[in-house]
Chain A
Amino acid sequence: DADVTQTPRNRITKTGKRIMLECSQTKGHDRMYWYRQDPGLGLRLIYYSFDVKDINKGEISDGYSVSRQAQAKFSLSLESAIPNQTALYFCATSDSQGGRTEAFFGQGTRLTVV
């Protein structure tokens, strides 16, 4: 099983619908992130969380919200989806200890808003 699991892997939704993307991890890391990836723009940070009680906005948080239900679970919601939110979404985790800076990514969720 993957260390960082995202569900669903693919989703097509209509404009105005609410949608939730879920992420769970078995790495035991305290930090979790949501990124979106667009061609030519790379990975951009939407939200990040350092622990269950800590939620922070990233570079492009407008139109998104998150919930850290447990250390291992971090979900991303689009309250009212719009077509320019069509993108590839990645959840990632990292460890605050050990002096490393590596992020571990899930397989991604391809979201299409029509």
Chain B
Amino acid sequence: QKEVEQDPGPLSVPEGAIVSLNCTYSNSAFQYFMWYRQYSRKGPELLMYTYSSGNKEDGRFTAQVDKSSKYISLFIRDSQPSDSATYLCAMSVSTGGFKTIFGAGTRLFVKA
């Protein structure tokens, strides 16, 4: 079993839809939870970062962490064609990027 499981999709939604992206994990020691966005032919870029449980909101994006269920989510409201990308969840035990474990990534297509 992989430490981090993420449905690779692809996920196709119409513009304006609410998008839900999810990951599950098995290592209860993870404390830092990240979402990276990767556009085609580019490297991943950090989108959001959460420590421990709870919610974090940044504009149209909301990250949720449920440590009791070992489940994290990223919600995108009012999705735009420019949100079309691959979204990778990532988790680590400690800071400084040390031994970050990445999910496989979910490809998202937002149709205009």
Contacts and interface: CB of A to CB of B under 8 A. Distances in A.
Interface stretch (A14-22, A69-77, A78-86, A91-99): A91-99
Nearest to B89: A42
A42 B98 CA distance: 17
Interface in B53-112: 88, 92, 94-100, 102-105
B48 to A, nearest CB: 10
A92 B43 CA distance: 9
Given A101-B32, A101-B49, A101-B92, A94 B42 contact: no
Contacts, number: 69
A42 B102 contact: yes
A16 to B, nearest CB: 28
B97 A43 contact: no
Given A40-B8, A43-B88, A92-B97, A101 B34 contact: yes
B17 interface: no
A47 interface: no
Contacts of B92: 101
A94 B96 contact: yes
A1 interface: no
Given A90-B43, A95-B97, A108-B43, 6 more contacts: A31-B98, A43-B88, A48-B98, A101-B95, A101-B97, A103-B44
Interface of A: 4, 31, 33, 35, 39-45, 48, 90, 92, 94-103, 105-108
